Amino acid sequence: MGIESEEPKSTAPSEFQRLNGGLLLAKANFFFLYGASAIILPALSVYGNELGLNAASVGVVLTVVPFVVFLVRPLIAGVSDRLQKIMPVLVCVIVFEAISLLFISSVPPLRTTGEQDAGLSLQLNLTASNATGSLMGIDNKFCVAEHLKNSSVHCFLECPCQRGIHADGDNVSDSCRLQHSVGLQPVSAELPSEFYLLDNESEPLPSVSFNLDEAIVTCTANCSVDLLPCLEKSADTAAASEDMHSLQFWLFLLLTCLIRIAISSTFSLSDTACFQQLGDKPQDYGLQRLWGTVGWGITAPLSGLLIDYVNAQLGYKSFVPGFYMAVGLMAIQCVIGCSWRLGPSTHNKSILRNVGGLLRKPRHLCFLLDIFVVGSCSSIHWYYIYWYLQDLQASKLLMGLTLATQSFLGDLPFMFLSGWLISKLQHINVVRLAFLGFFVKFLGYSFMHNPWWAIAIELLQGPTYGSFYVAMTSYARSISVPGTEATFLSIIQGVFDCLGIAAGSCLGGLGLSYFGARKTYFIASFVPLVWLVLTILISQLITHCSSGEQDKVVVEEPMESVQPFMSAKSNRRDHSDQQPVEQL
């Protein structure tokens, strides 16, 4: 099979040095890697708008990028496997990412982004006792309902005089306009098509402002609430077509592809390096990977504070200060990479043939479909949960607490216990546990009316991502042929965070457009449940139809772990010519 094994040198570091040196560097690498990613990944789409690109143009970029990443990512991992130089390749990719980030930060905007050139008027119906009004220029009444529900909005009205209408002299300008400061309160909290106008003392605005018992006047309303998102936008398709003729669009597409390729490659290379450092203790991978979650949870709010502070000093909004902070974290990660010395590894001369042989096995194809479904479910939740919480009038504080719950109460405990879970349930069943988690999570969100319940529901982030990611990565490493770990792992992770994420974001967006967030969550809750039943049946069918021992795989389950109260079976890796075999 073209595998050459190198014998360990006599100068290999001691166990104490390996645990306290190499694993410390592995933890630090994950911390700064995911810390920088927490700044970059959420900001790229918003930064495209900051460059003056239309939302449809940014959507085109974000649709194309995952497929490019999926194709290029294994090539970089293949170079690492071929050269057997993981850390030099990792450092080069980080430097390339930092340069690309600096380039995208210096791209001039297409045009000065400002408020939409859109108008909003209020039609007043005046009677002898009070005044009611209806907004003009907005067809999306549901959007208005969400913005004005259970709240009063301060408005400044400017109403032109019409024929036969006279306004009080105290309130009339030279241009014969009524100017009055009022409050706007919906008549119906469910679907406000009409509004009561209240003066500053919350009393009905009397019709005495007009010397007429009854009239209809169209006024311009300058209100404290932002209703521009409810206004119809210009044709996105035409605007996107115009953007595609600009240099900014193509620079944004190119640099976003390069940045995402670099980030995805660093994920795969860092995981491979961590497993190589762990040697015959791969069950302790979760203890190293959880520091990436810590880095994400700490860096995300710190970068937000930095961006807000710098923007307040400069007087305009920009994500560029956050990008500079990310470059600083990458510089630290490069120092870590240059200091990290990995032991000898297995060289494989037939990477493409060995990886292709693994992907052709029915059992492994079923595993790829499992990963794809989890990626799609994750995308629906990651991209649209804040949208749903905003529809439920959740505060920004609650949204921040939801993110903190995901990281520190969901991911961290399950990553810490992942080795124990895998030893008890086996890899593939920990992956399947994510399907049950998504079913309960999505069903809970579909019945949720009080947004504060989101904190409790987000505890399910543990099985849906924390333990799942560790099991997916560890399983891929277990079934890979020695010397092809980085390449095979990049393909597995690409199915999850490229193809799965792209499919989920597309289907989730269509669901929100046609059904709304609540019904989309309800429909989506049955997808993982149905697939769980199907994947078990398919696996049983594959086992039943398999002839001989060739298609059976023994996945090595964990041996002893440094995690407390944990004991498991041996997982010593055999660098022989034999294909690994899977247990279900």
Give CA angle at 243 (241, 249), nearest 5°.
125
What span, in angstroms and rounded, lies between the C-alpha atoms of 37 and 260?
Answer: 10
Q: Can you give the pLDDT at residue 154?
A: 63
Q: Can you give the pLDDT at residue 381?
A: 86
3-class SS letters over 291-356: HHHHHHHHHHHHHHHHHHHHHHHHCCCCCHHHHHHHHHHHHHHHHHHHHCCCCCCCEECCHHHHHH
**8: burial class by Cβ within 10 Å (0-12, 13-18, 19+)?**
exposed
Taking alpha carbons only, the member of 44, 25, 22, 45 closest to residue 33 is 25
Q: Residue 177's beta-bridge partner residues?
A: 160
Q: Can you give the pLDDT at residue 499?
A: 93
Output the six-digit token pair for 548: 């001989």
What span, in angstroms and rounded, lies between the C-alpha atoms of 573 and 584?
Answer: 19
Q: How confident is the model at residue 300 (pLDDT cuts 50, 70, 90)?
A: confident
Burial of 247-265, coded b for 16+ CB within 10 Å and e otherwise, reads ebbebbbebbbbbbbbbbb
What span, in angstroms and rounded, lies between the C-alpha atoms of 405 and 118?
Answer: 39
Burial of 114-132, coded b for 16+ CB within 10 Å and e otherwise, reads eeeeeebbbebebeeeebb
Which span out of 133-137, 173-177, 301-305, 394-398 was modeled with the highest average pLDDT?
A: 301-305
Q: Is the pLDDT of residue 153 over 50?
A: yes
Q: Is the pLDDT of residue 187 over 90?
A: no
Which comes out higher in pLDDT, residue 584 or 400?
400
The tens digit of pLDDT for each residue in 107-132 reads: 988 754 444 444 555 555 555 445 55
- Return all residues near 335 (Cβ < 8 A) that are at least 6 apart: none
Q: How confident is the model at residue 541 (pLDDT cuts 50, 70, 90)?
A: very high
Lowest mean per-residue pLDDT among 463-472, 539-548, 563-572: 563-572
Domain range annotation of the chain = 12-111+265-545, 128-213
Q: Can you give the pLDDT at residue 495?
A: 95
Is the CATH code 3.40.630.30 the one for domain 12-111+265-545? no
What span, in angstroms and rounded, lies between the C-alpha atoms of 23 and 340?
Answer: 9
Output the six-digit token pair for 13: 């570091």
Q: How confident is the model at residue 11 (pLDDT cuts 50, 70, 90)?
A: very low
Query: Is 22 strand, coil or helix?
Result: helix
Output the six-digit token pair for 560: 């002893």
Amino acid at 277: Q
396, 397, 399, 403: CA torsion to nearest 10? 140
Element (H, E) at 476: helix 467-479
Specify the residue for token string 């936008």.
233
Q: What is the pTM of this model?
A: 0.70
Would the CA dihedral through 158, 163, 165, 169 be positive or negative?
positive
Other Cβ atoms less than 10 A from the Cβ of 193: the count is 13
Specify the residue for token string 């009205």.
157
Q: How confident is the model at residue 422 (pLDDT cuts 50, 70, 90)?
A: very high
Output the six-digit token pair for 564: 């407390």
What span, in angstroms and rounded, lies between the C-alpha atoms of 479 and 456?
Answer: 36
What span, in angstroms and rounded, lies between the C-alpha atoms of 440 and 437?
Answer: 5
Element (H, E) at 545: helix 517-545
Q: Can you give the pLDDT at residue 52?
A: 82
Q: How many CA atoms lie within 13 A of 256 on its CB side?
A: 27
Q: Can you give the pLDDT at residue 41?
A: 86
Specify the residue for token string 């690309």.
100
What span, in angstroms and rounded, lies between the C-alpha atoms of 376 and 461?
Answer: 15
Is residue 123 within 8 A of residue 133, CB to CB? The reply is: yes
The tens digit of pLDDT for each residue in 34-43 reads: 999 988 988 8
Q: How many CA atoms lie within 13 A of 27 on its CB side?
A: 14
Concatenating the DSSP letter of every residue in 247-292 gives HHHHHHHHHHHHHHHHHHHHHHHHHHHHHHHHTT-GGGHHHHHHHH
| Mean pLDDT, the chain, whole residue set | 76
What span, in angstroms and rounded, lies between the C-alpha atoms of 320 and 316?
Answer: 11
Q: How confident is the model at residue 150 (pLDDT cuts 50, 70, 90)?
A: low
What are the respective helix, strand and coil percentages of the chain, to the nearest 5? Answer: 65, 10, 30
3-class SS letters over 447-467: CCCCCCHHHHHHHHHHHHHHH
Which comes out higher in pLDDT, residue 30 or 577?
30
CA gyration radius for the chain?
29
Specify the residue for token string 């679907």.
191
Element (H, E) at 475: helix 467-479
Q: Can you give the pLDDT at residue 24?
A: 92
Q: What mean pLDDT do residues 217-243 have? A: 58
Which comes out higher in pLDDT, residue 332 or 517?
332
- What is the bridge-based pairing of β-strands 3-4 and 121-126? unpaired
Output the six-digit token pair for 541: 């069918």
Output the six-digit token pair for 119: 């108008």
The tens digit of pLDDT for each residue in 65-94 reads: 899 999 999 999 999 988 888 999 999 999
Q: How confident is the model at residue 539 (pLDDT cuts 50, 70, 90)?
A: very high
The tens digit of pLDDT for each residue in 461-480 reads: 999 999 999 999 999 988 98
Q: Residue 136's beta-bridge partner residues?
A: 121
Taking alpha carbons only, the member of 321, 323, 376 closest to residue 498 is 376
Is residue 561 within 8 A of residue 414, CB to CB? The reply is: no
- Return all residues near 62 (Cβ < 8 A) that are at least 6 apart: 44, 45, 256, 505
Other Cβ atoms less than 10 A from the Cβ of 49: the count is 14
Is residue 155 within 8 A of residue 224, CB to CB? The reply is: yes
What is the 8-class DSSP label of residue 78?
A: H
Q: Is the pLDDT of residue 210 over 90?
A: no
CA 85 to chain centre: 31
